[in-house]
Amino acid sequence: MDATVIQKYQDIALGYVAEFGVRILAAIAFWVIGRWLIHMAVGMVQKSLERQKVDPTVLRYVGSVTAVTLNILLVIGILGYFGVQTTTFAALIAAAGVAIGMAWSGLLANFAAGAFMIVLRPFKVGDFVSAAGVVGTIKEIGLFSTVVVTPDNVVTYLGNNKIFGDTIQNFSLNPFRRVDLKAQLAGSADHNAARALLKEKIALIPNVLPEPAVDVEILEFNLVGPVLAVRPYCHNDHYWQVYFDTNRVIKEALGEAGFPAPTPSQIVTVKQAS
C-alpha cells in the first residue's frame, strides 16, 4: 500500500481519536462539575429544611430523591452531548414515573400529605391532638404515616393523607384548656349558693388556673332540677387530673354543705270518681 494512503488513514484515525478524546475529557469535566453542583444543590435543600426543623428522616429522604433526580438529568445531558438520542430515555423515564405513580398512588398521597404537614406544621412531636378520629400524643411524624400514642397507651399508625384530609384538633397549641363538666342539682336546691360554693372549692384544686376564672352557670333544666355547667381552666398536661379532681369536689362539696340529693320525682294526683 502506498505510504501516502497509509498516512491519509492515520490522519483520519488520529482526527477521530482526537475528537473522541476531547469529547471524553469534556464528558468527564461535565460529570465532575455536575456532581459538584448536585452536591451543592442537595446541601442547600437540606440546610433550608433544617432551618425549618424538619424531621431528620425527611431530610435524608428529600436529599436522596433530589440527588437521584439530578444525577439522572446529568447522565441524560452527557449522553446527549455524545449524540445519543435521549428522547427514548426520557420517554421511558416518564412512562416508568406514570406506572410507579399509579401503583403507589396511596403511598405518594401519604408522602405528599406528610410534606404539607411538615411545611404547615399543624402539630409537632409531643402535641396532644385529635386527628383522623384518634386522640393521643404525637410520637413520630414519618414519611408516609404518623405515630400517635392514645391515652390508654396504644401505639396507633395513621396515614398522613387521612390525617391531612380530616379535621385536626391541637390541644397543646394554646396555653390553657377548658374542662367541661356538669353538676345536677335538685329542684329545691339553692342554685346561687351551689354556684358560689363550687367556684370557691374548685378554684383551690391544684393546677386550676386563676385566670380565666372558674365558670359555674346554669346550663339547662330537666325533670330533676337545674344542671350547672362547671368549667375550670388548666394547662393541657394537667387536664385529666383537674377533670377527676373537679368531679370529686362537686360530689364532696355539695354533699358536705347539705344540698339535697338530686333524685327524680313525680307528682301523682289521684282523683276518685264520685
Q: What is the CATH number of the domain that holds 226?
A: 3.30.70.100
Q: What is the pLDDT of residue 187?
A: 87
- Spatial distance between the Cα atoms of 196 and 186, rounded to a whole number of angstroms: 16
* 164 and 181 assigned to the same domain: no
Strand partners, 216: 230
Q: Where are the beta strands (DSSP E) in 21-154?
A: 128-131, 134-141, 145-149
State the Cα–Cα distance between residues 132 and 252, nearest whole angstrom.
Answer: 38
Q: Over the range 232-249, which residues count as b (16 or more CB within 10 Å of their CB) and which as e?
A: bbbebebbeebeebbeeb
Answer for the pair 228, 250: CB distance below 8 angstroms, yes or no: no
User: For residue 140, is it within any domain?
Assistant: yes
Asked whether residue 187 falls in the same domain as residue 228, the answer is: yes
pLDDT in tens, 152-197: 999 999 998 899 888 999 998 898 999 999 999 998 889 999 999 9
Which CATH number do you get for residue 127?
2.30.30.60
Q: List the CATH number of the domain containing 74.
A: 1.10.287.1260
Domain housing 225: 177-256
Is 44 among the domain residues?
Answer: yes
Beta bridge partners of 129: 136, 170
Phi first, then psi: give them for residue 206, nearest 5 degrees: -55, 140
Work out how many domains the chain is built from and give that number. Answer: 3
Shared domain check, 234 and 144:
no
Are 8 and 60 within one domain? yes
Same domain for 22 and 68, yes or no, is yes
pLDDT for position 143: 74
Asked if residue 272 is part of any domain, the answer here is no
Domain co-membership, 222 together with 164: no
Provide the pLDDT for residue 101.
Answer: 57
Residue-level pLDDT at 153:
93
Specify if 110 maps to a domain: no
Q: What angle do CA 187, 181, 223 make, to 5 degrees?
A: 25
> What's residue 243's pLDDT?
96
Residue 111 resides in a domain: no
- 145 and 229 share one domain: no
Beta strands in 35-173 (DSSP E): 128-131, 134-141, 145-149, 155-159, 168-170
**Which of the residues in the chain have pLDDT under 50?**
none
